[in-house]
Structure 1
Amino acid sequence: MTKTKAILLKITPPQFLTLGFIIIISIGSLLLSLPAASTDGIRTPFIDALFTATSAVCVTGLVVVDTGTHFTIFGQVVILTLMQIGGLGFMTMATMLALAFRKRISLRERLLLQETMNQASLEGIVRFIRRVLVYAFVIEIVGALLLAMRFSLTMPIGRALYLGIFHSISMFTNAGFDVLGTVNGPFSSFVGHVDDPIVNFVIIMLIFLGGIGFIVLAELWDFSKVRKLSLHSKVVLTTSGVLFLAGAVLIFIFEFTNARTLEPLDITGKLYSSLFQSISPRSGGASTLDIGAMRSATQFLIVLLMFIGASPGSAGGGIKVTTFAILVGAVIAMIRGKEDVVFFNRRLAKDRVHKALTISIVALSAIVLFTMLISATENVEILTAMFEVTSAFGTTGLSMGLTPHLTTLGKVLIITMMFIGRLGPLTLAFTLAPGEKELYRYPEGKIMIG
């Protein structure tokens, strides 16, 4: 056994995933900094290339330069590749190549796949990865064709097809990148399609399907045969639906009379915009309204939605909708004097509640710390800083306009937060300090609470 192989065998799955993301981001940064990647033929500053590569691999969508006008087709294809790898997971993509060449998947690779897809068991993991790849490519192809048909009404078919492919992959992987800067102006996202029913519907569905997680997608695919959903899927779909509808209603109410957002639109446009801006914080990152022009109440609502994020097993970030559901369930159980958290007549184990609480506290602590740092380094209001930081943690990509004007230190802070958000706070913690099994327990003590 070689020394290098011995070292690799000692690396834990969380550490391997962290190292893998760092390597891919580094390669992407070097490619995006090449003169061939920028439209002016001048090297992009490495910090900007690093920011863009991190945002693509971590499927965030925050940008310091406009993707459509700053990068050439070569640069955009690099970003597209990074989004696909980051969205599906580099181990998933590596497995696809291994299967294509009929290579055997080792036990260690299966463990890494289990960690990547957030699976509870190794059983059937390779078969599950095959299904993930099929679901992803089918959904992305359908989305690309629908968007291409719409775009072809106003531009050449080749350009329309390219835009359809780029935005379908970007939205399904919840990356939030767009190349519409050449169409609607730099940093415009989908503002030019605010009342377009086809674009709104396709993008909303891509974000939703990409955000509910592959486990739920698999069960929905088989539902017509088995007529049954797991507890996980029921909680994900229920919580996601409630957050989506509640967010849309509140955005509609808050922005109804805002002359810079909803007021100029007809009732159909108002409904489209409210639904779009409600689903996008689920880690989608696209927008059809100027986020910076929204009222503070709406911006704070979006911060809360970004903090919750998408579902486990998806490319989205945040604490995840299941974590949020468990926290709400625990509060309700405590208020009602119940010992257990119960969903759909099923009791949750105590360790699930403890893990949900840990993830939430660690995430909230990171957001508070980085918000204070960004507010100090960029000299901006606390809500503006919190919005950008939470967007980075939730790998969302929505911005109030601060990101393109970040200082070098501010860019480093947001890069760090995007990385934390994509890996997950607990995965990163296990990477830095792998947990050890307790050999003994201390006597029980009591502390007054409340």
Structure 2
Amino acid sequence: MKGLEGVEKVVVIGLGMTGLSVVNHLLRLPQVLDIKVIDTRDAPPGREQLPASVELCSGEWQMAWLLSADLIVASPGIALATPQLVEAANAGVDIVGDIELFARAVSKPVVAITGSNGKSTVTSLVGEMAKEAGIDVGVGGNIGFAALDMLAQQHDLYVLELSSFQLETTASLQLKAAVYLNLSEDHMDRYPGGIEQYSQAKMRIFDHAELAVYNRDDLATRPEFSGAMASFGFDSAQYGLITFGDEEWLAVDGEAVMPSNDIALVGRHNVANSLAALALADAAGIGREAACRALRRYNGLAHRCQLVASQHGVKWVNDSKATNLASTLAALNGLALPGKLHLLVGGDGKGADFSELQPVLRQLDVRLYCYGRDGFLFQPLADDALAVETMAEAMAIAADDARSGDMVLLSPACASFDQFPNFMARGDAFVELAQQLQHRVGKGS
């Protein structure tokens, strides 16, 4: 395998799904390696799946192993600034991550996605576009399958979601295309240099890309890049939007592709995500017709602006993962409906100030359904606000009041713990009720 010439001793830092994928990948190689694992947790997940031939040190660091290694493979959650890794690096030990091992082994085309928000949606969407085109595609990285586990399946195309943590330890990933979706503050505890250091880690995605795709509406994502570049945004340039007839259309270089209202994903941010996905699909050789079929069909990841029911002209959308104000704002910004928005908010507010929602709500024809422990905090934000005890009660009232062109949206801006074990359980309950209630829309009680 290229890149591991002369390597005999490998130490894997961190077990779990990623660490196990590294160990299994190294064991599949024809060369015989001395593989050891360090995990500072006393009972690391996955230890029972570790082959007997691989020694595990748990609950502490084992510096003798690190300093005698030819290669250290660190899990993304382990910062390179960790003193033990700094000591090993200063001793001349090479430190990489699982994506770097993937880069050294993969022989088929790869596209990759990074950004502060929307990575999982765009990654999944490009995967759906490839499947629609009949391409054997592997989708993973920071989502779903570990990248190295996918190599054993020998796919014809790989679509990777990559975090800044993964990119820190990746140096040779060759990509057909890479996209940097957007930038906002996150993981500042990992980056003492602030948002600039965080962004520079994400910019590493472009280092060996044939095509760099950035967001025209967030120029912090534009790299200093000497190769081919493309961009997406809400104007008419490159991957953008045009008015065709009386409708807004997705367009490429001014040529109409499909109406934006035909996208199954909900929310203005998902129009931008769809444009980014189109750019990657074109670079990967995915046919435009197949890409558009996927855009019309793919209704999103569970609990993230996911269309779960549609009948009598009313859409029911599950955005249960919106457990904070920023997530709900993302769902609402730029939302355009022919009818009324029935918005379900509330739960465990975690002490947040929700007043920032008010200007956005004023731009919408909206009725607020305020439920749960902190639902009362939302009532002053809209004139048409209704206080109820539970989400189920809110949904029943919305079903009776909704008419064609309306949307019933669960985007609660709160955690779920007052009434549900987690946001997944809350979303699942919404889906089940929506599928029951959609049939009585507009019939009254």
TM-score relative to the length of structure 2: 0.29
Greater share of helix: 1
Greater share of strand: 2
Higher radius of gyration, 1 or 2 = 2
